[in-house]
Structure 1
Amino acid sequence: MQVMSQPVLIVTGASRGIGKAVALSAIKSLNANVLAVARSKDLLEVLKQDVDKCGKGHCLEIVVGDLTDERVVTRAIDRAIDRWGRIDGVVANAGVLEPMALVEDAPVQGWKKLFDINLFSIITLVQEALSHLKKTNGRIINVSSGAATKAYRGWGAYGASKAALNHLTETLAVEEPNITTIAIRPGVVDTDMQGLIRQEGKASMGDFHSKFVDLHEQGKLVDPQDCGHVIASLSISGSKDLSGKFLSWDDDSLIEHRRKN
């Protein structure tokens, strides 16, 4: 086992969108080592190629698997420890939006599947990582959503899971005072999830749908590299006085964590 001075992060949902942006910023700009987890082997290989191109292939390890499988979580933790000997931060980014449906229509099994991904897998990840994070006074960054505090028609399952994630963040801040736990609202980010909303959301979302279509057409979606850099930076150097808070990625208190243009 080789102990490294560079910070070591575990990033979930790292094959695309925000998660990929977090991983790339952490490695390229913040000199971190990253254990990247996602279900898509092909997309994780693309991430690896991107990192190899900048000469930092040694800073990335990948684990392919579904985080609702506890064995995948254990494998990710063990791989990080075996490779680098420590864990300094966890970025819980993996999440899904479906089912997009009214409460009246959405099958309970759909809610349960979403909660398995958006909440329960994160609890498992935190439980597995805590003993290592306690040794480093580490950080947990939970990628939340504005839907945690604002109801959108057809997003009952998603919004409820993110509200629960925010509460988990507050609870961890109380129970684990030596670990900094922060929930981040990344904004309306230009990712595949937004494409799904535009293509399939109209039926369940009604008038709420137009907001997301308009933001796309007006070029106002958040660049994943912008919010991703903030999240990566927080996972390495987020201040203890932020622990337990739910903050937007562009909050004034996070200016020092923004990407330099």
Structure 2
Amino acid sequence: MPLDYITQKSTGSRGHLNYSTYTTTDFLTTASIDQSLIHQYRIMSAKTIIVTGASRGIGLSITKYLLSAPQSHNVVVVARSPEPLQKLKDQYGKQVEILNGDLADFSLAPKAVDLAVKSFGKLDGIVLNHGMLGQVGKIAEAEPEQWKYGWDVNFLSLVAFVKAALPALRETKGKIIFTSSGASVTAYTGWGLYGASKAAMNHLALSLGDEEPDVTSVSIRPGMVDTEMQRELREDHATSLVPHIHSKFVGVHKEGKLLKPEQPGHVMAKLVLDAPSALSGKFLSWNDKELAGFQE
């Protein structure tokens, strides 16, 4: 039986598999399909994704979803902390490649792309999830050197990753998903560095949507999520944040209103696999109506 028969049931022709209508379980219950063919299909259909900031929070939830999805995709995980990444490698084995380092080091970007292509033969998408809050304080009190480092991490590293990845992504008609923030469009006193860098991220996605017709780029607002950054805001910046903003973050946590990382994370994981080109260049909230088909 030819391999492309497997995709024909869901699409009527050779091409992309619609996971929602035809799953691996369906294959397993089709007695006429040889088990070795199923294994071959799984290998050939697996996508290769780079996820930055993959050691915790939203990045970790994205990574775990990709690794445990029906096709068991391949992921190059990038972060500063080695231990969480090694745990992923221990659990998922050959599906995972690790790259540790400070994202302010722009040489990490081509290294990650090379690692993906050499290990798995291609690159289908990147999730640029890393970032830092940086200096918190009014612009009148800003330290340019601290802002420079924050911009290196939050924005210029994105440019490095995009530039390094574009040749491979053009070949696969790949996806770029950015983790943005509501701070990109709303002023929070003392968040000048963080908000400005996220606004620049949104415009980077917008520019890519205009310049790269074969690559789909989407910037996602994940909402208020129970992450390390939220802990920092509550505990480490009680005096540097203005009182009403600090009280807001404390209150949301106490009331149990923070999102779980998996809520926006799973939407973003699905987008890096299957985001339609019509979304390219857009800045959308994770629960936007336009993304209803990607929400659980």
Partner of 2:75: 34
CA distance in 1, matches of 2:156, 2:50: 17
Partner of 1:135: 171
Equivalent residues of 1:14, 1:36 under 8 A apart: yes
User: Deviations along 1:208-240, whole A, 9 cap, x unmatched?
Assistant: 111111110010101001111111100000111
Q: SS at the partner of 2:177?
A: strand
Partner of 1:255: 292
Q: Is it true that 1:221 corresponds to 2:261 in the alignment?
A: no
Tell me which of 177, 193, 199 is aligned to 2:213: 177
Structure possessing the higher radius of gyration over alpha carbons: 2
User: Deviations along 1:25-84, whole A, 9 cap, x unmatched?
Assistant: 1111253211000011112123334xx1xxx42211111112222322222111100111
User: Deviations along 1:125-183, whole A, 9 cap, x unmatched?
Assistant: 00000000000010000110000000101100000000000000100000001110000
Equivalent residues of 2:221, 2:283 under 8 A apart: yes
Partner of 2:138: 102
- Superposed, which structure 2 residues align to 1:229-240 within 5 Å? 229-240=266-277
**TM-fit CA distance, 1:4:** 4.2
Q: Is it true that 1:246 corresponds to 2:283 in the alignment?
A: yes
Partner of 1:5: 45
Equivalent residues of 1:22, 1:228 under 8 A apart: yes
- Superposed, which structure 2 residues align to 1:116-127 within 5 Å? 116-127=152-163
TM-score, normalised relative to structure 2: 0.83
Partner of 1:43: 84
Partner of 2:203: 167
Equivalent residues of 2:177, 2:271 under 8 A apart: yes
Q: SS at the partner of 1:129?
A: helix
Aligned-partner residue type, residue 12 of structure 1: T
Aligned-partner residue type, residue 214 of structure 2: N
CA distance in 2, matches of 1:67, 1:201: 23
Partner of 1:22: 62
Q: Is it true that 1:88 corresponds to 2:129 in the alignment?
A: no
CA distance in 1, matches of 2:140, 2:159: 28
RMSD between aligned residues: 1.3
Equivalent residues of 1:153, 1:204 under 8 A apart: no
Q: SS at the partner of 1:35?
A: strand
Equivalent residues of 2:88, 2:96 under 8 A apart: no
Runs of 4+ aligned residues of structure 1 deviating over 6 Å after TM superposition are none
Partner of 2:182: 146
Q: SS at the partner of 1:172?
A: helix
Instruction: Report the identity percentage.
Output: 44
Deviates more, 1:205-214 or 1:127-136: 205-214
Could you tell me which runs of 5 or more consecutive residues in structure 2 were left unpaired when the two chains were aligned: 1-42
CA distance in 2, matches of 1:183, 1:15: 20
Aligned-partner residue type, residue 236 of structure 1: L
TM-score, normalised relative to structure 1: 0.93
CA distance in 2, matches of 1:20, 1:130: 24
Partner of 2:241: 205
Q: Relative contact order (alpha carbons < 8 A, sep ≥ 6): 1 or 2 greater?
A: 1
Count of residue pairs the alignment pairs up:
252
Aligned-partner residue type, residue 19 of structure 1: G
